[in-house]
Amino acid sequence: MSKRQGGQGKQGGEVKSQKSKVKSQICQMNTKEQLIQEIDSLSEPELQKALELIRTVKKQTPKSKAFKAYLETEEKWSGVYRRLADS
């Protein structure tokens, strides 16, 4: 019996592993899937506005590594940055 149970336990572990991989993929795709569903319900004029908005957001995204580093530390070092700007 113990051999049989051990075999089932191994398969059960494989199934759990596969389920967690699928769940992880669903979580990663969730926002994109939600956007696609919303886009599917838009009219042509609304689609044009949405496209303009997306392009605007992409343009506003910083590209320089230095600026990205600043944004990542802005909250932590805001007091220092403020004093530097005021001096």
Number of domains in the chain: 1
| 87 within domain boundaries | no
Give Cα 83 to chain centroid, integer Å: 34
Give Cα 46 to chain centroid, integer Å: 24
How far is the C-alpha of 8 from the C-alpha of 12, rounded, in Å?
A: 6
Q: Is the CB of residue 50 less than 8 Å from the CB of residue 42?
A: yes
| 83 within domain boundaries | no
From 27, 50, 29, 26, select the one nearest 38 (Cα to Cα). Answer: 50
**Which structural domain range is residue 12 located in?**
2-62
Phi and psi, residue 4, nearest 5°: -65, -45
| 78 within domain boundaries | no
| 80 within domain boundaries | no
| 46 within domain boundaries | yes
In tens, the pLDDT along 57-71 reads: 888 876 778 877 887
How does pLDDT run along the chain (87 residues), one tens digit per residue? 444 444 455 566 676 667 666 666 556 668 888 889 899 999 999 999 999 998 988 888 767 788 778 878 888 888 888 888 888
